[in-house]
């Protein structure tokens, strides 16, 4: 990874922080994309300390805001002609139904649409890389997921599992269609299930609700470093240089459910996503 340029979203804690430190340790230049400047600065110092590298940089990118995503992408492209790895790691899981400033249900808006727009806007520097890699962090929760086009903001019968699973299924369908559209390029797109990882994903950002539950369950979960292992593998390993459109768990490709492996559903989600973010992807 020496001198490779990497962007990691949600890099201020958990697997994002672990991935930032490890990829910097391996010689990459890492842009830690975080929504909160103060927490991001703390994470930057921590990643430098863990990795023994100063080749890390903080940048602000709030995935719930399409304007913030556009500003970050423009900032990056002004400074860096090449992007070797885009690790779409950020994610939320909220017990309460929340709506983003653009009117999206928060899981779909942050976990999928924010990353959809970010990836689309960074296509030029990804294609300029010797071998660009897009790595999307999904979850085994996709198996209970469905894209509820008839009630996409989940006004009727909201629950956290339904919302989270919908967004994680979207991550996989996005990866499949992205890989199909990138087939004639040197850019690959893969996704993964990190396992049950002890992170702050289920903790309410504003109130801290959920911290005590997570602390109690922590001994039964993987560490962020263990959870990040497959994402790091997909970002770095020569073994997967030719693989694209796959879903990995424990560094191995997995069979997907019929719903997640449906090309027509992947195309439908892509078109819907373009409409929602107001950007026609040049692919």
Short-list 67, 1, 80, 68, CA closest to 40: 68
- Given the residues 164, 233, 247, 249, select the one marked as catalytic: 164
- Note if 164 is an active site residue: yes
Contacts of 14 (CB under 8 A, 6+ apart): 197, 199, 200, 201, 224, 227
Look at strands 188-193 and 5-9 and give their pairing: unpaired
Question: Which of helix, strand or coil describes residue 119?
Answer: helix
Please name the residue that has the structure tokens 């997967």. Answer: 240
Q: Give CA–CA dist 19/82, Å, rounded.
A: 20
Q: Which value, in Å, is the radius of gyration of the alpha carbons in the chain?
A: 17
Q: Give CA–CA dist 24/30, Å, rounded.
A: 6
**DSSP letter (8 states) at residue 192:** E
| Burial (CB count <10 Å: 0-12, 13-18, 19+), residue 49 | exposed
- The per-residue DSSP string of 29-98 comes to EEEEEES-HHHHHHHHHHHHHHHT---EEEEE--TT-HHHHHHHHHHHHHH-S---EEEE------SS--
103-117 exposure pattern, b = at least 16 Cβ within 10 A, e = fewer: ebbbbbbbbbbbbbb
Question: Which of helix, strand or coil describes residue 167?
Answer: helix
Name the residues annotated as catalytic. Answer: 164
């Amino acid at each position: 990874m020496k001198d490779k340029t990497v962007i990691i979203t949600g890099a201020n804690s958990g697997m994002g922080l672990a991935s930032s430190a490890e990829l910097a340790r391996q010689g990459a230049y890492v842009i830690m994309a975080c929504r909160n400047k103060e927490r991001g600065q703390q994470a930057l110092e921590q990643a430098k300390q863990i990795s023994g590298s100063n080749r890390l940089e903080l940048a602000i990118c709030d995935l719930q805001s399409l304007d913030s995503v556009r500003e970050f992408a423009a900032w990056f492209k002004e400074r860096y002609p090449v992007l070797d790895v885009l690790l779409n790691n950020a994610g939320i899981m909220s017990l309460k139904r929340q709506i983003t400033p653009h009117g999206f249900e928060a899981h779909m808006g942050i976990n999928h649409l924010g990353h959809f727009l970010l990836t689309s806007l960074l296509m030029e520097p990804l294609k300029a890389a010797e071998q660009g890699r897009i790595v999307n962090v999904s979850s085994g929760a996709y198996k209970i997921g469905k894209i509820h086009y008839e009630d996409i903001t989940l006004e009727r019968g909201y629950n956290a599992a339904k919302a989270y699973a919908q967004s994680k299924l979207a991550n996989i369908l996005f990866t499949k269609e992205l890989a199909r559209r990138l087939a004639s390029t040197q850019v690959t797109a893969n996704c993964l299930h990190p396992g049950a990882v002890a992170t702050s994903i289920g903790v309410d950002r504003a109130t801290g609700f959920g911290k005590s539950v997570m602390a109690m369950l922590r001994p039964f979960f993987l560490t962020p470093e263990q959870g990040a292992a497959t994402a790091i593998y997909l970002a770095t390993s020569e073994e997967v240089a030719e693989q694209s459109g796959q879903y990995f768990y424990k560094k191995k490709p997995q069979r997907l459910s019929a719903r997640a492996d449906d090309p027509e559903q992947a195309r439908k989600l892509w078109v819907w996503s373009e409409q929602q973010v107001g950007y026609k992807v040049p692919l």
